[in-house]
Amino acid sequence: MSRSDILDDFEFDENQYHGLAEEGEVVAKFFSLMEAEVAAARLRSEGIHCFLANTTSSTVLPHLQIIVRLHVHPIDSARAREILQEAAVDTVTPPDASKDSGILVGLAILIGILMALLLVRAIWGEL
C-alpha cells in the first residue's frame, strides 16, 4: 500500500531543533526578511543552530512592517551576538554641516550679485 503523503518518506532528524522554540533566545530583530536570512546564514555557517520567527507573516503580508526575530539556543546566544556584532556595519557620523553652509551661502550671494550685474549690463547695453 503506497502512502499519499510523500513527506513521510523522508527521514528527518526530529530532535535537531527539539525544544528550540520553547527555550530559544532572541539574539536579533530585523525589519527586512533578507537581512534576517543573511544573519541566520552567517550563524549557521559558524555551526550555530538558529531559526527565524515571523518569516511567513512578512511574505504573506509584505505591506506591513513585521519584525523577524532570530532565535538561537541560550547556550549559543553570547557567541551568536559576537558573530552578529562582527558583521554589523559601523555608521559614520556625518561631518558638521554648519561650517559648509556658511561657505555655500556666501557663494550663493556672490553668484546672485554677478547675475544681477550681468542682467543690468545687458539691459543698459540694449538702450
Which tens digits make up the pLDDT trace of 57-93? Answer: 767 777 777 888 999 998 999 999 999 988 776 545 5
- Cα separation, 45 vs 19, whole angstroms: 21
Q: What is the dihedral of CA 79, 66, 12, 5, to 10 degrees?
A: 180
- Residue 3: the pLDDT is 46
- Checking if the pLDDT of 117 tops 90, the result is yes
When the pLDDT of each residue in the chain is averaged and rounded to a whole number, the result is 77
- Backbone angles phi and psi of 52, in degrees to 5: -105, 135
Is residue 77 a contact partner of residue 30, using CB atoms and an 8 Å limit? no
- Checking if the pLDDT of 95 tops 80, the result is no
Rg (CA), the chain: 30
CA distances from 52 to 45, 57, 82, 120, 125 (A): 15, 11, 18, 69, 75
- Cα separation, 95 vs 80, whole angstroms: 33
| Cell numbers representing residue 116 in the block | 544681477
- Residue 22: the pLDDT is 55
* Degrees, nearest 5: CA angle 74-89-28: 25
Average pLDDT score over residue span 15-21: 50
Average pLDDT score over residue span 37-52: 91
- Residue 94: the pLDDT is 56
- Residue 12: the pLDDT is 44
More confident site: 23 or 1: 23
